[in-house]
Each structure stands twice: as C-alpha cells, then as structure tokens.
Amino acid sequence: MNPTSSESESGGVGPQTFRMSKTAGAALGEYSEVSPLAVTSLVLGVAGGLVVLGPVLAVVPLVGLVLGVWALVKISRSAGTQTGKLLALAGVVLCAGSVGFAGYQQWSGDHRIARERQAIDQLLGEFAKYISQSRYDQAYELLDPRQQSRITLERFKQTLEQLQNTPDYGRIVAATSGRQIELTVDPSTKNSVAQGLILLKLDASKFGANDDRGARERAVYWMIDGKWRIHDIPSWFPTRPGGQDQ
C-alpha cells in the first residue's frame, strides 16, 4: 500500500497536526464574543454621571476610559473573534466626557475659592487701613447689617481704641486672611458664608517693643449684595447667651 502524501512528507505514519489560521473561525461564520471590557466601559461611562455629586467620583469614568481603550486594542487584534467596537467607543466617549466635566468642576471650584479669598483679603486690607488711621466710621461700614444692629458705632470705636492701647496688642497696621478661609452656604438665608482667621500685623513700638508683633483672631464673613462684609469677630465683640452685646 502506498503511503499517503502526509505520510511521505512526514517520513512515517501517524496523526498529523496542523496550525489553523486565526481568522478561520471568523471565515467559517462561527460565534464571535462581545468584548466584556467594552461592555464594562459602557456601563462605567453611564455611571460616570455620578461626577455631578463630587469630583472624587471621577475615578469611576477614569477606570471606564482605560477599559474602553483596552477593549478597542483587544478587538482590533482579535481578528474577528471579538466584537463590541461601537460599545467600546461609546464607553470611551462617555467616560472622557465625565472625566472632563469633573476636571472642569474642580478647576471652577478652586478658581471661585481663590477669587473669594482675594476679595476677603481686600476687605481686611481696607478694614485695617481705616482702623490704623482712626477712621472708625468707615471701618464700621465694612460690618454687615446684622453686626451693626448688634454693635453700635460708639461701642465699635471704644472697643478698638481700648484694644490698641494695651501692651499686649498695639496699633493695628495691616490684616490678611492668610488664605485660611473656608467657604460654605448658610442653610437658612442661602447666603455665602466664609470663616477663618484674621492675621493682624501690629505696631507696639510705643510700648517699647522693637520687633513686629502679630495676632490671630477668628472671624466670620457674609456675602451681602455681592460684597463680602465682616459678620463677626467673637473675641472683639463677645455676646451673652441671649445675643446681647457685652
């Protein structure tokens, strides 16, 4: 019996193995798998809308973006054994949009905080300038209406004069927030509220002090008609439990 061609080529008899083309399954119309990575990317892209609740949730679409790109690479290399390119593309677009929105949201918030801090620093600069020049009536106008209704102009003048004539304090020369400001919204009035420190530069030379002095006071600011005003400096103007001026 003559050996078959395969036996002749191999030099003997026995089972032969052959390497199948990677495209053989696709060419024969066999089932192609939908890429799980593409599906996951799309799901995370839809869930990426959660970034409106806070930039920290941007990790969700960020993961989806990575998985979507990875899915596209694997699909392109699968030689037709994986599908889902449109799903992956949709996931990439949705995730990229969510990540971009989260980035803009973070930048916008940081920009607003920086702008409000600068406005408060300008307010404190004017406040300290008027006090250093004994222009107390103008400094008093930088208080918000509620504080003015609680503290009279005369009381305001007396407090600041007494404060600046003590050896532990001295004349107020300048003031800044030191960028230590926290912004919130008052739930009852819906007004913007800021609280933090006032960093004061003092001149105590008349008391024999040769070095520059400083002081820190806690303060609260309210936004009134688009402008920041000093709402309270508790250590300067303490109140009794009933809310009356001391």
Asked if the model's pLDDT at residue 42 lies above 60, the reply is yes
- Tokens for 26, please give them: 């696709």
Residue 1 confidence (pLDDT): 43
Query: Do residues 106 and 52 make contact, with C-beta atoms less than 8 angstroms apart?
Result: no
Q: Is residue 58 part of a domain?
A: yes
Do 81 and 141 fall within a single domain? no
Q: For the chain, how big is the Rg over CA atoms in Å?
A: 36
Q: Is residue 118 part of a domain?
A: no
Domain holding 71, by residue range, is 31-108
Q: How many residues does the chain have?
A: 246
What angle separates helix 36-47 from helix 85-132, to the nearest 10 degrees? Answer: 30
Do 175 and 138 fall within a single domain? yes
Q: What is the arithmetic mean of pLDDT over 53-80?
A: 88
pLDDT interval class at 241 (50, 70, 90): low
In angstroms, the CA 74 to CA 67 distance is 10
Do 70 and 160 fall within a single domain? no
Residue 111 confidence (pLDDT): 83
Do 67 and 104 fall within a single domain? yes
The angle formed by the CA atoms of residues 209, 213 and 218, to the nearest 5 degrees, is 145
Asked if the model's pLDDT at residue 25 lies above 70, the reply is no
Task: Work out how many domains the chain is built from and give that number.
Answer: 2
